[in-house]
Amino acid sequence: MNASDAPAIPEEVLEIARTLEQAGYEAWCVGGALRDAILGHPHTDFDFATSATPAQVQALFRRTAPVGEKYGTVGVIDRRRVVHEVTTFRRDVATDGRHAVVAYGVSLEEDLSRRDFTINAIAYHPFRQEWRDPYGGRSDLGRGLLRAVGEPAERFREDYLRILRAVRFAARFDFAIEPATWAAAVAAAPGLARLSAERVREEWFKGLRTATSVSRLVELWVRVGAAERWIPELLAIPAELLARAATVPLEARDPVLLTALLTDHAAAVLRRLRASNAEIERAALLARGPAEPAGSTAADVRRWLSAVGRGADDLLELYALREGRDAPWSATVRGVREHGEPLARGDLAVSGTDLQALGASGPRVGELLTTLLDRVLEDPSLNQRDRLLALARELT
């Protein structure tokens, strides 16, 4: 690769490199952004490998963020407020397959040697237009091949998460995995059980968001042994659902909805993966349903919206994912919302206090509100204070 093949690097990124170089430190573009630039994929940030220590980087830049200082990484914030990771040249001193102890004071070549795959072990000097590619990563990018740096078994023993990263990169770029790398990944798969649920979830979510084909991502999770250890529900996906998942465009890739599409008990899966409470609750609402209205009338749709509450939009999206088309009642839902029709007891034109003034007390207040809501769901025009009070008097 010659100077004419140089990746386009924004001026804001060059400013970071220039600051480091003028202070006497090496600054090389590395990592995923460089890889994506070579492939012509969109990206917003650049990573740097540098001879400067984290403390020296922080002293040079006014705006930084703590993104991994104990591993040698400082986030430098450019004038567009984009964070770029600047990491000191490092090597692994010790690793337990989950976390590494690193040492500084090494060369760029030593730094590249500790990286996972050849496509991520490429460096580019933005001013000298000089490439460092000791493991043939650019050639592998051109061939569509994912290959471990050096001895594959050692790379996976250093960090078992690299097994899931291999699967994610292969599915994202539609790359083949080099046979020796694949064999080592399969052999190392029992080590996946030692990973934290949070790291596994992050890889699962990233994979769902970026895979060229979700079905290939799932296939690789199953074949490498990751599904068996973390999401065994993937082992029994009906073929039609897997085919449907393969058609979901990137812009519609919601990991919670896709997990619900692919598994029968998405909330349990997300709990196992230590997802956020909000994500688990979304999955629980999907399971609670009902999945669709009992009938096709507007009143049926209003009752459905009232029953599912915050889960309505996710249920509509899940229907579209499963069926490949909008839900037949989605237009009615839009109409209900546009007209602001009441769907919950809090939307009623009367309150519990109003009913207490009529003589209702205790649980009876709630029962009356529920009854009034049922009437209003049938006929929204009843949601007027005088009419509801008159109905309440009839019921008390």
Question: Which of these ranges, 97-106, 113-122, 137-146, 228-237, has the smallest mean pLDDT?
Answer: 97-106
What 3-state DSSP class applies to 268? helix
| 326 lies in the same domain as 362 | no
Q: How far apart are CA 5 and CA 37, in angstroms?
A: 11
Domain shared by 298 and 386, yes or no: no
Q: pLDDT digit string (tens) for 240-263?
A: 888 888 888 888 899 999 999 999
Model confidence over 196-207: pLDDT tens digits? 999 999 999 999
User: Do 313 and 332 belong together in one domain?
Assistant: yes
Does the pLDDT value for residue 236 go beyond 50? yes
In this predicted structure, what is the pLDDT of residue 4? 42
Angle subtended by helix axes 179-188 and 214-224, to nearest 10: 60
Q: What is the pLDDT of residues 51-68, one digit of tens each?
A: 999 999 999 999 999 887
- Which pLDDT band, with edges at 50, 70 and 90, does 99 fall under? low
Give me the CATH number covering residue 139: 3.30.460.10
User: Which two three-digit tokens encode residue 334?
Assistant: 């839009």
| 125 shares a domain with 22 | yes
Q: Could you say which of 122, 143, 164 is where a domain stops?
A: 143
Shared domain check, 156 and 195: yes
| Same domain for 135 and 3 | yes
Work out the number of other CB atoms within 10 angstroms of the CB of residue 101. Answer: 11
Q: What is the DSSP string of 181-233?
A: HHHHHHHHGGGGGGS-HHHHHHHHHHHHHH-S-HHHHHHHHHHHTHHHHH-GG
Tell me whether residue 379 is in a domain.
Answer: yes
Residue 263 in any domain: the answer is no
The region that residue 87 occupies, defined by phi over 0 for left and psi between -120 and 50 for alpha, beta otherwise, is beta
Same domain, 320 and 239: no
Q: How many domains does the chain have?
A: 4
Per-residue confidence (pLDDT) for residue 1, from 0 to 100: 41
User: Which of 246, 276, 299 is where one domain is finished?
Assistant: 246
Are 37 and 154 in the same domain?
A: no
Count CB-CB contacts under 10 A for residue 134.
14
Instruction: Measure the CA–CA gap between 212 and 107, rounded to whole angstroms.
Output: 36
pLDDT at 98: 60
pLDDT, position 92 = 63
What is the extent of the structural domain holding 205?
A: 144-246
Q: What is the pLDDT of residues 337-355, one digit of tens each?
A: 999 999 999 999 999 999 9
